[in-house]
Amino acid sequence: MPAMEAVVVEGIRRVFTPRKREPVTALDSVSLTIPVGEVHGLLGPNGAGKTTLVKILSTVLLPTEGRALVCGHDVVTETKAVRPLIGIVFGGERGLYTRLSARQNLEYWGALYRLSGPQIKERTAMLLDRVGLTDRADQRVEEFSRGMKQRLHLARGLMGDARVLFLDEPTTGMDPLAAREFRKLVGDLQDEGRTILLTTHDMVEAETVCDRVSLIDRGRILATETPRSLGSLISRFQRIDIEDAPDALLAQLKLVAGVSSVSPQADGSIRIEVNEDGATALVLRHLVDAGITSVKTSLPSLEEVYVQMIGERGLVV
Amino acid sequence: MVWYALVSGANDYWAIWSAKSWVFGLQLRIFSQVSFFALIGKLLRSDEQAHFFLVGNAVMVAAMGATFAMNMTTAERANGTLSLLLASPTRPVVVFASRGLYVTADGILNGLLGLFIAGPLFGLHLPWPRILLVVPLTLLVGISAYCFSTFLAGVIIRQREITGLVVNATIVTLMTLCGVNVPVSFYPTWLAWISRCLPITNGLEAIRDVINGGSWSAVAAHTGAELLVASLWLTLALGTFGRFMRAGQRDGSLEYAS
């Protein structure tokens, strides 16, 4: 029976021991389950442990403790079973043979995934078309733009018809348009039933393409939720925006229990932020009593959740 | 897999060389190298010395191509493709061995061209039809050197900054010890034994026997010894690559390219 979970991570710990330096714990008791067909985001700052986890799942790195399964196969003891099932795509300029053409790169990787000659030709043509590189198929990769290289990276990761794709910061350095196209491709891959683990520190990306997001920092998973639910986690940090209000009312609102700030915004509106459950209702009652009905409440974006949980440090890229 | 790796390597190669630069650049260099040593023999007023140097250096050219393959292997790491290769279903040593084969093939072709063009110009008699045997024997020397080179690549793959140094040191060492310019019999016994464990030495003696009319049994014995040496280095190459990959998985030195 096929595994229902594409990825299972149980208590993974990874400690690096550099020479003449203190050991560094990159992952600490990480547990995670990703069902088949899910796009799962791993969101965290640089050094959070995202790539370390992907390396372990893709059999390139051994965990110090714990166990991980991909499509039911142990990534340490069953590497031969795992490797044909996975595809790896990472951002940046490297990972391709730049003196070869796009077609030659894909054909070579097809051979590495043990496809037959006709299969290699067929999949190469299909994937080049899919990532929009058919017209550039025979051009050397060194002449490609960054976005084109990234699309070729994705095609390469798909040559083996991977069931689980690890996308390690795949849109790094892409222009917004190329990144949007790339995200659309990710959606298409999900529609085919593939499971995708996407590491990123781009909140918009995580919010746009992921079914669930795990926030990771200093080797620990802080929360795993849908992007929307993660916002709810700190719903007590809800914001209330009003167009205008008398100064007396604003002074009064500052004294309401749970109101953390009342501040004017650049567009002339006023934002009231709360940091306690139930404070929103109190503020709304004050506003209605004062005859102010043009009120907008909103949940924080994933970016704000990220900042709240990880801190401003997480925004340093 | 081997075919595609060979083709991709060859495509890589022809991205560097054009037909014109290959003929008037590379081949001219090969011809100059072989002729240079043959001319030293001529300076010594000895055809025998000239032919000894010429044959030795032509075969050395074949082995040099294989030695340069070391650069390619460590380049995979610099390229960011090493971790991807490890995570693919094919064994990395097969990939490396296959991808560098074209350099070896190129070296063998260059060595044979050097021998067959420069040889007659320096009065070297190429006995027909036994000279044909030189082709597979040069192939064997090239492959043997390639096994040795792959072994060294596995040893130094973690220190890619010294690759150039190791390639040059290897070429000079092989040229010195393997009977290319100095007969192995010149060395003390212990050094001669080391020489016989290196690629080229035995195969080169077989080639000299073929050209100089040596006995078939001597040719066969030297050929067998070269085969044995190639197998030894191939086994060690498999071992070093396996060791490197396992160590990389343990200590995290197989980095992703990002």
Helices of type H across B133-254: 134-156, 163-177, 189-197, 201-212, 216-251
Q: A83: which chain B residues are within 8 Å (Cβ-Cβ)?
A: 87-89
Q: B253: which chain A residues are within 8 Å (Cβ-Cβ)?
A: none
Interface touch A58/B257, C-beta < 8 Å: no
CA B226 to mean position of chain CA atoms: 13
Searching chain B, which residue's CA lies closest to the CA of residue A51? B256
Searching chain A, which residue's CA lies closest to the CA of residue B252? A61
Euclidean distance between CA atoms B146 and B62, whole angstroms: 10
Interface touch A55/B4, C-beta < 8 Å: no
Euclidean distance between CA atoms A190 and A209, whole angstroms: 10
Which CATH number goes with the domain that contains A146? 3.40.50.300
Residue B25 — very low, low, confident or very high, per pLDDT cuts 50/70/90? confident
State the average pLDDT for chain A: 85
Per-residue pLDDT at B252 exceeds 90: no
Do A137 and A53 reside in the same domain of the chain? yes
- Give the sheet arrangement for strand A259-264, strand by strand: A259-264, A270-274, A239-242, A295-298
Residue B218 — very low, low, confident or very high, per pLDDT cuts 50/70/90? very high
Per-residue pLDDT at A35 exceeds 80: yes
Residue B255 — very low, low, confident or very high, per pLDDT cuts 50/70/90? low
State the average pLDDT for chain B: 86
> DSSP letter at A212?
E
Interface touch B252/A52, C-beta < 8 Å: yes
Q: Could you tell me if B204 and B226 are in contact, meaning their C-beta atoms sit under 8 angstroms apart?
A: no
Which of A61, A89, A166, A171 is best to mutate for the B interface (most B CBs within 10 A)? A61
Residue A219: name the closest of A79, A58, A71, A16 by CA: A16
- The tokens describing A186, both together, are 């990710």
Cis peptide leading into residue B129 (ω within 30°) = yes
- The tokens describing B13, both together, are 């190669």
Interface touch A112/B90, C-beta < 8 Å: yes
Strands A5-16 and A86-90: unpaired
Task: Look up tokens 């980095």; give the residue.
Answer: B255
Euclidean distance between CA atoms B152 and B163, whole angstroms: 9
Q: Could you tell me if A89 and A153 are in contact, meaning their C-beta atoms sit under 8 angstroms apart?
A: yes
**Tally of domains within chain A:** 2
Euclidean distance between CA atoms A131 and A153, whole angstroms: 10
- Inter-axis angle of helices A146-158 and A117-130, nearest 10: 140
More confidently predicted of B16 and B32 = B32
Q: Could you tell me if A220 and A30 are in contact, meaning their C-beta atoms sit under 8 angstroms apart?
A: yes
Per-residue pLDDT at A300 exceeds 70: no
Question: Does any domain span residue B257?
Answer: no
Interface touch B86/A86, C-beta < 8 Å: no
Q: A140: which chain B residues are within 8 Å (Cβ-Cβ)?
A: 15
Interface touch B257/A83, C-beta < 8 Å: no
Euclidean distance between CA atoms A90 and A199, whole angstroms: 9
Q: How many pairs of residues across A and B have Cβ atoms under 8 Å apart?
A: 112
Q: Mean pLDDT across the stretch A201-216?
A: 85
Q: Would you state the pLDDT for residue B70? A: 78
Do A91 and A30 reside in the same domain of the chain? yes
Question: Does any domain span residue A306?
Answer: no
Q: Mean pLDDT across the stretch A72-94?
A: 89
Euclidean distance between CA atoms A297 and A317, whole angstroms: 30
Question: Which one of A16, A58, A101 has the shortest CB-CB distance to B252?
Answer: A16
| φ, ψ of residue B16 in degrees (nearest 5) | -90, -45
Do A246 and A207 reside in the same domain of the chain? no
Do A144 and A217 reside in the same domain of the chain? yes
Residues 74-133 in B contacting A (C-alpha not used; CB under 8 Å): 79-81, 83-90, 95
Question: Which one of B16, B88, B248 has the shortest CB-CB distance to A112?
Answer: B88
Per-residue pLDDT at B62 exceeds 80: yes
Q: Could you tell me if A68 and A74 are in contact, meaning their C-beta atoms sit under 8 angstroms apart?
A: yes
Question: Does any domain span residue A311?
Answer: no
Q: Does the CB of B8 have a partner CB in chain A at under 8 Å?
A: yes
Q: Which of A170, A192, A227 is the last residue of a domain?
A: A227
Which of B2, B7, B11 is best to mutate for the A interface (most A CBs within 10 A)? B11
Euclidean distance between CA atoms A249 and A254, whole angstroms: 9
Do A168 and A221 reside in the same domain of the chain? yes
Distance to chain A for B195, nearest Cα, Å? 37
Interface touch B89/A160, C-beta < 8 Å: yes
- Inter-axis angle of helices A117-130 and A102-112, nearest 10: 130
Per-residue pLDDT at B112 exceeds 70: yes
Q: B90: which chain A residues are within 8 Å (Cβ-Cβ)?
A: 111-114
Do A123 and A257 reside in the same domain of the chain? no
Q: Would you state the pLDDT for residue A315? A: 45
Task: Look up tokens 């995934």; give the residue.
Answer: A113
Query: Which residues constitute the domain of residue B94?
Result: 2-251
Distance to chain B for A33, nearest Cα, Å? 21
Q: Does the CB of B18 have a partner CB in chain A at under 8 Å?
A: no
Q: Would you state the pLDDT for residue B197? A: 95
Q: Mean pLDDT across the stretch B212-216?
A: 90
Which CATH number goes with the domain that contains A245? 3.30.70.100
Q: Could you tell me if A29 and A68 are in contact, meaning their C-beta atoms sit under 8 angstroms apart?
A: no
> Per residue in B37-59, pLDDT tens?
888 888 888 888 899 999 999 99
Do A239 and A220 reside in the same domain of the chain? no
Residue A234 — very low, low, confident or very high, per pLDDT cuts 50/70/90? low
Residue B161 — very low, low, confident or very high, per pLDDT cuts 50/70/90? confident
Q: Which region among A39-53, A66-80, A183-197, A199-213 has the lowest average model confidence (pLDDT)? A: A199-213
Do A20 and A119 reside in the same domain of the chain? yes
Q: Mean pLDDT across the stretch B193-198?
A: 94
Choose the most confident range, by mean pLDDT, from A67-76, A198-207, B246-255: A67-76
Q: B7: which chain A residues are within 8 Å (Cβ-Cβ)?
A: 104, 107-108
Q: Could you tell me if A71 and B98 are in contact, meaning their C-beta atoms sit under 8 angstroms apart?
A: no
Distance to chain B for A47, nearest Cα, Å? 13
Residue A257 CB: number of other CB atoms within 10 A?
9
Do A207 and A278 reside in the same domain of the chain? no
Do A121 and A39 reside in the same domain of the chain? yes
Question: Does any domain span residue A83?
Answer: yes
Query: Which residues constitute the domain of residue A142?
Result: 5-227
Per-residue pLDDT at B24 exceeds 80: yes
Q: B97: which chain A residues are within 8 Å (Cβ-Cβ)?
A: none
By CB atoms closer than 10 A (0-12, 13-18, 19+), residue A232 is: middle
Q: Does the CB of B19 have a partner CB in chain A at under 8 Å?
A: no
More confidently predicted of B118 and B11 = B118
Do A124 and A22 reside in the same domain of the chain? yes
Do A246 and A219 reside in the same domain of the chain? no
Question: Does any domain span residue A124?
Answer: yes
Question: Does any domain span residue A89?
Answer: yes
CB proximity list for B173: less than 8 A, separation 6 or greater:
none
Q: Would you state the pLDDT for residue B258? A: 39
Q: Which of A227, A251, A273 is the last residue of a domain?
A: A227
Q: Could you tell me if B153 and B236 are in contact, meaning their C-beta atoms sit under 8 angstroms apart?
A: no
Question: Does any domain span residue B256?
Answer: no
- What proportions of chain A, in percent to the nearest 5, are helix, strand and coil? 40, 25, 35
Question: Does any domain span residue B154?
Answer: yes
Question: Does any domain span residue A58?
Answer: yes
Residues 40-79 in B contacting A (C-alpha not used; CB under 8 Å): 79
Q: Could you tell me if A146 and A174 are in contact, meaning their C-beta atoms sit under 8 angstroms apart?
A: yes
Question: Does any domain span residue A308?
Answer: no
Residue A302 — very low, low, confident or very high, per pLDDT cuts 50/70/90? low
Question: Which one of B3, B15, B249 has the shortest CB-CB distance to A140?
Answer: B15
Euclidean distance between CA atoms A86 and A160, whole angstroms: 8
**Tally of domains within chain B:** 1
Question: Does any domain span residue A310?
Answer: no
ipTM of the complex: 0.73
Task: Look up tokens 């006709």; give the residue.
Answer: A118
Q: Could you tell me if A70 and A85 are in contact, meaning their C-beta atoms sit under 8 angstroms apart?
A: yes
Interface touch A97/B12, C-beta < 8 Å: yes
Question: Does any domain span residue B198?
Answer: yes
Euclidean distance between CA atoms B95 and A275, whole angstroms: 58
CA distances for B121 relative to B40, B54, B134, angstroms = 15, 11, 18
Q: Would you state the pLDDT for residue A305? A: 67
Task: Print burial letters for A11-49: b (CB count within 10 Å at least 16), e (below 16).
Answer: ebebeeeeeeeeeebbbbebebbbebbbbbbbbbbeebb
> DSSP letter at B25?
I
> Per residue in A111-134, pLDDT tens?
888 898 899 999 999 999 988 899
Per-residue pLDDT at A166 exceeds 90: yes
